[in-house]
A and B are shown apart, each in its own frame.
Chain A
Amino acid sequence: MSVVIEQPRSPRNRKQANFEKYGWMYMRASGVVLVILIFGHLFTNLFLGEGIKAIDFAFVGGKWSDPFWQVWDLLMLWLALIHGTNGMRTIVNDYTSREGLRKALVIALWAICAALIVLGTLVVFTFDPCPAGSPANLLPSFCPAS
């Protein structure tokens, strides 16, 4: 495929330039917030208490019955997935030379991103910490069954 180099004086494509600029700013703005969100996530889930040993269904039930952690996780989900996908897009742009392949990969990236955002958001909003018929010893202590 041949690369088209525009005439130096042709007006630049405003839409494209703005998209790249907003992408650049988004990487930095989301990065600052993600430091706090992810460090906080790892601190509560891996460092405090029994760390990784303590994580099970009841642990998640305890956290997600608190709106504070619901909002925390939702923000982290959206910001990290869009940040990561946009970063992967940059990398795909850098290393692919065939335009068709580049387009296909970028579309695949955003499709995966969208699917996981929808899934993760639904999971937080529809989560039931006390599902009926489950063994009581697997549920958080506040469930009527346990």
Chain B
Amino acid sequence: MPSMPAGTLYRGKVGMWSWVLHRITGVAIFFFLLVHVLDTALVRLSPEAYNAVIGTYKTPIIGLAELGLVAAILYHALNGVRVILIDFWRKGVKYQNVMWWVVVIISAVLFLGFAPRHLSHVFGW
């Protein structure tokens, strides 16, 4: 009976999911950046226009979305470093699996350091 090949660096398991997440977060950050350059450009229009639009960044719903943005950045950035290590570090491929868990743990720690502080700013606690 032929059996399914076990996961490889590219298929199934960590190798694939790390990549799927990297791709999704990359696209999300890209679309955020398009909007963000436009909202920042409002400083050239007038202080009132800029303050009105940046005010929406302080509302509860967008405030929560910013948590998602920061989580996406943390993961994409740290996993990007992991990808670079896999490509250039002699032992990168050997440790790619452990490195992914390190990425997840560091992302989680930084996120937990950020989230309560950000929530307290957004909700005025």
Contacts from A to B (Cβ < 8 Å): 28, 31-32, 34-35, 38-39, 42, 46-47, 50-53, 55-58, 60-61, 77, 80-81, 84-85, 87-88, 91, 112, 116, 119-120, 122-123, 126-127, 131, 134-135, 138-139
With beta carbons under 8 angstroms apart, the residue of A60, A88, A122 that contacts B27 is A88
Verify B27–A91 contact, CB threshold 8 A: yes
| A-B pairs with lowest CB-CB distance, top 6 | A57-B47, A51-B121, A84-B30, A138-B47, A31-B80, A116-B37
Size of the chain B interface, CB-CB below 8 angstroms: 38
Report yes or no: A119 in contact with B26, Cβ–Cβ below 8 A: no
Q: Given A91-B27, A123-B44, are A51 and B118 neighbors across the interface (CB < 8 Å)?
A: yes
Asked if A126 and B30 make an inter-chain contact with CB atoms under 8 angstroms apart, the answer reads no
Contacts of A131 in B (CB 8 A): 46-47
A115 to chain B, nearest CB (A): 9
Chain B residues contacting A138 (CB-CB under 8 Å) are 47-48, 51
Q: Check B87 against A56 for contact (C-beta < 8 Å).
A: no
Scoring B33, B47, B66 by chain A CB atoms within 10 A of each residue's CB, the highest score goes to: B47
Q: Which residues of B contact A31 (CB under 8 A)?
A: 77, 80-81, 84
Q: What is B's interface to A at a CB cutoff of 8 Å?
A: 23, 26-27, 29-30, 33-34, 37-38, 40-41, 43-44, 46-48, 50-51, 54, 57-58, 63, 66, 70, 73, 77-78, 80-81, 83-84, 87-88, 114, 117-118, 121-122
Question: Can you offer 23 A-B residue contacts whose CB atoms are under 8 A?
Answer: A28-B87, A31-B77, A35-B77, A42-B73, A46-B70, A51-B117, A51-B121, A52-B66, A55-B54, A57-B43, A58-B47, A61-B43, A77-B37, A81-B37, A84-B29, A91-B23, A119-B38, A120-B41, A123-B44, A127-B43, A131-B47, A134-B47, A138-B47
Q: Are B33 and A80 in contact (CB under 8 A)?
A: yes
> A34 contacts B77, CB within 8 Å?
yes
Contact between B117 and A38, CB atoms less than 8 A apart: no
Contact A47:B117 (CB < 8 A) given known A55-B57, A84-B30: yes
Q: In whole angstroms, what is the CA distance A119 to B40 when docked?
A: 10
CA distance A38 to B78 in the complex (A): 12
Min C-beta distance of A19 to chain B, whole Å: 18
A-side contacts of B34, CB under 8 Å: 112, 116
Contact of A81 among B33, B50, B57, B117 (CB under 8 A): B33
